[in-house]
Structures are given as structure tokens and as C-alpha cells.
Amino acid sequence: MIQWHNQALKQMAKLSETRREQIKEAVNGLPFSGDIRKLQGQKYSYRLRIGGYRIIYRLTDGNVHIDQVLPRGSAYKN
């Protein structure tokens, strides 16, 4: 099951329709389809690269939690 965090939904709303469709299509292939990397220092967090955007998500009990949808330059800043 894929669950979207409210913050990720707000970030998606700011994107163009074309980019939103690309991201939705890529997210439907999760948890392990696409250009994915495990985030260092975080036990269950991963990132999915879609062009210049990064999808930060967590895996818990077989569920995918989409936390953030950000441009590459700001995706890893705390």
C-alpha cells in the first residue's frame, strides 16, 4: 500500500501536470523499481530519482510512505 504524507501532497500540487504524472507512474512501481538508493543514517528511508526531483520514502511493514517530493538541490537538506 502506498500512503502519501500531507507535505508530499502539497509539494506535488505545486508541480506541473506532466511532472505529477511522471512521479505517480514511478511511485506505483515502488518499493524497488526505478533509480533507488538507501539513505545513509536512516534505517528504513530511501530516495527515488525522477529527473531533477527526488521522492523520499520509507518502507514499514510492507507499506510505502511517501514523505517528500523535492527538487534535487533541496531534497537532502535538513
pLDDT tens figures, 22-78: 999 999 888 778 889 999 988 889 999 998 999 999 988 889 999 999 998 877 665
The predicted pLDDT at position 33 comes to 80
In sequence order, the β-bridge partners of residue 23 are none
The predicted pLDDT at position 76 comes to 67
* Residue given cell 509539494 in the structure block: 11
pLDDT band at 11 (very low <50, low <70, confident <90, very high): very high
Instruction: Of 26, 38, 37, give the one whose Cα is nearest residue 2.
Output: 26
The predicted pLDDT at position 5 comes to 95
Ordered domains of the chain (ranges, CATH):
2-71 (3.30.2310.20)
